[in-house]
């Protein structure tokens, strides 16, 4: 999800998306342990996506309207 798309979501929706991405990252880690993953670039994408979500949530909490 792009940051511009995140601007349109509420804090509650962002929290749900964050939980979903963390769950997907956990699944990827489990698949990696049993050697069933071919697309290792997804790890970076999910970690960066989680960081973007956390940044947007913190911006909302601090009152920034970016």
User: Which residues lie closer than 8 Å to 60 by C-beta, 6 or more apart?
Assistant: 11, 14
Instruction: Give tens-digit pLDDT for 6-57.
Output: 888 888 999 999 999 999 999 988 888 888 777 888 889 999 999 999 999 9
Residue predicted with more confidence, 66 or 21: 21
Q: Is the pLDDT of residue 65 over 70?
A: no
Residue 66: pLDDT band with limits 50, 70, 90: low
Model pLDDT, residue 2: 80
Count of structural domains within the chain? 1
Model pLDDT, residue 21: 95
**Rounded to whole angstroms, what are the CA distances from 38 to 1, 28, 35, 59, 62?**
22, 10, 8, 35, 39
Q: Which domain holds residue 44?
A: 3-62
Greatest CA separation for the chain: 44
The DSSP secondary structure of 31-62, one letter per residue, reads HHHTT--S-THHHHHHHHHHHHHHHHHHHHHH
């Amino acid at each position: 999800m792009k940051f511009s798309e995140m601007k349109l979501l509420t804090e509650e929706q962002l929290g749900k998306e964050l939980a979903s991405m963390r769950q997907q990252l956990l699944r990827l880690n489990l698949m990696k342990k049993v050697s069933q993953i071919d697309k290792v670039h997804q790890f970076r994408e999910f970690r960066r996506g989680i960081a973007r979500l956390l940044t947007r949530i913190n911006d909302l909490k601090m009152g920034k309207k970016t």
